[in-house]
Amino acid sequence: MVSELKRVTKLEQATGEWTPTIGETVAIPWGVDEIFGKVAEIYGNGLRVQVVVELLPELSSHVVDEPTTVTFPIDAVHRANHAA
């Protein structure tokens, strides 16, 4: 069973661009695959916007043993689509 986690805003509908929001579940690169986490913080400006992603064991398919955070450039963070 697949559940898409999508939050489509009016701005996104108008521009076609997606921007992560605090608390949103996102996918990030992890080796040759992707894992899921929640956006904890977004900072920076212009071309140097960074996203802090909180990784939880249950959300990351237990890739991490304890909650932790990682930081990625905003263009490496994608909308999450995962099995429920």
What CATH number is associated with residue 54? 2.30.30.190
Instruction: Give per-residue pLDDT as tens, 11-68.
Output: 455 456 788 999 999 999 999 989 999 999 999 987 789 999 999 999 888 899 999 9
What is the tally of structural domains in the chain? 1
Domain that holds residue 31: 2-83
DSSP 54: E
Contact 63, 8 (CB under 8 A): no
pLDDT score recorded for residue 47: 77
pLDDT score recorded for residue 17: 74
Q: How far apart (Å, rounded) are the C-alpha atoms in residues 21 and 58?
A: 20
